[in-house]
Amino acid sequence: MKSYLMSSSIAVAIVVAVVSLFSMPAAPQDKASASKPACCSTNEELQKFYLDLPEAKKATPRTPDGHPDLSGFYNNPFGHSGETRQDGTVQFLFGGKRNLGGPKYNWPEPVQPPYKPEYAAKVEKIFQGQYGASTADDPQYDCKPMGVPRASMVPLQIVQTPKMVVILYESNFIGQTYRIIYLDGRPHPKDLDSSFLGDSIGHWEGDTLVVDVTGLNDETWLGGAQGHTEPGGPGEGGSHQIVEHHALIHSDQEHVMERYTRHGDMLVYEATVEDPVMFTKPWVITPRHFMLGVPPDDRIFESFCESRDRSHIVKPSEADEPKCELGHSTGCDRQR
């Protein structure tokens, strides 16, 4: 853990340095707050930031039985842009919806899983072999479902009925897959075979859908370095990825409690992960925020995945210069 702490410190130092070098001026409409970060040093502030957005202030639709209606297509509103010019030129800009001229953001450091020392050492070894945010060890390059909570990233489609909620995933890496969350009071099967996405049963606690997930195999990672996207980023006002770079291995005793709460057009995803084999205590992830209808009237796409990356991923070497990759809040000391 010492090296992790050290690398985290270096990461923070580099982020601070890079932020100070490349900070963009604040948006004109926000001159008064230009001198201080717009948000968010804690998860609570992050949550408030999202729930203050106009999309989250809209009325939350409800089903006839009175529960919030989670149905809809959710995506990341702070993603990418494109344009078509008169001569027929088309442009895709990765991260193009980032507000590069906007106010600065700070982001809470992702909460890393509380591994027992023997597993922390294994994770550290994997981490040391990462190039930037990538390693060929990452099971995501198998194009198999990425487990829970890692699979819970946009784009996704939710279909809700009184007795079940179905989540359809569209993902670069996990391909096309789905989960069914049963709400009819059934227990987990006694003869459950472990699987990539496990078995899910849910119930409502107030306006939050609480889901119990078990029967997960140990062939996935918890978060890897893929992370997920939040708006803004250090100094760039752009997209920020929650990168839980020590959220890697888990055992087949993993048990997850998920919480889905809709606020207007926003879906807040929270999860607590237990792993009695590898963890010293439950791991509470940094909340994720998904937006409905981005772009409007969008729909889920076919997304079968064909693995062609793994064989080309290089490892860091002594000759590589440390380099910070903005867009990641941590681990930029690993970017070489």
Partner 1 sequence: MRCKIALLVVFFSLPITASPVLAHHSFTAEFDPDKSFTVKGVLKHVDWTNPHVYFYVDVKDENGNVETWSFQTFPPGMLHRAGVQKDVFKIGEEVTVLANPAKDGTKHLGSGNKIRYEDGHEILLLVAGRNYDKY
Quick one: which of 139, 145, 147, 175 contacts partner 1 (CB under 8 A)? Answer: 175
Q: Which of 18-26, 37-45, 102-110, 275-283 is the region at the interface with partner 1 (rule: CB under 8 A)?
A: 18-26
CB of 327 to partner 1, least distance (A): 4
Q: Does 123 bind partner 1 (CB under 8 A)?
A: no
Q: Does 39 bind partner 1 (CB under 8 A)?
A: no
Rounded Cα distance, 73 and 52, in Å:
21
Residue by residue, DSSP assigns 232-250 as --TTTSS-EEE--TT----
- Restricted to residues 176-205, the positions that interact with partner 1 (CB under 8 A) are none
Rounded Cα distance, 289 and 255, in Å:
22
Q: Does 238 bind partner 1 (CB under 8 A)?
A: yes
Q: Which of 105-113, 209-217, 259-267, 320-328 is the region at the interface with partner 1 (rule: CB under 8 A)?
A: 320-328
Residue 316's alpha-carbon distances to 216, 224, 309, 327, in angstroms, are 32, 17, 16, 20
Q: Does 20 bind partner 1 (CB under 8 A)?
A: no
CB of 311 to partner 1, least distance (A): 8
CB of 41 to partner 1, least distance (A): 21
Q: Which of 61-69, 113-121, 280-288, 299-307 is the region at the interface with partner 1 (rule: CB under 8 A)?
A: 299-307
Is residue 138 within 8 A of residue 223, CB to CB? The reply is no
Sequence-separated (6 or more) residues with CB below 8 Å from residue 70: 158, 160, 165, 209, 260, 262, 267
Rounded Cα distance, 51 and 81, in Å:
24
Q: Does 167 bind partner 1 (CB under 8 A)?
A: no
Quick one: which of 239, 261, 286, 330 contacts partner 1 (CB under 8 A)? Answer: 239
- The token pair that represents 205 in the structure block: 């606690």
Q: Does 9 bind partner 1 (CB under 8 A)?
A: no
Rounded Cα distance, 233 and 222, in Å:
23
Quick one: which of 3, 13, 22, 48 contacts partner 1 (CB under 8 A)? Answer: 22
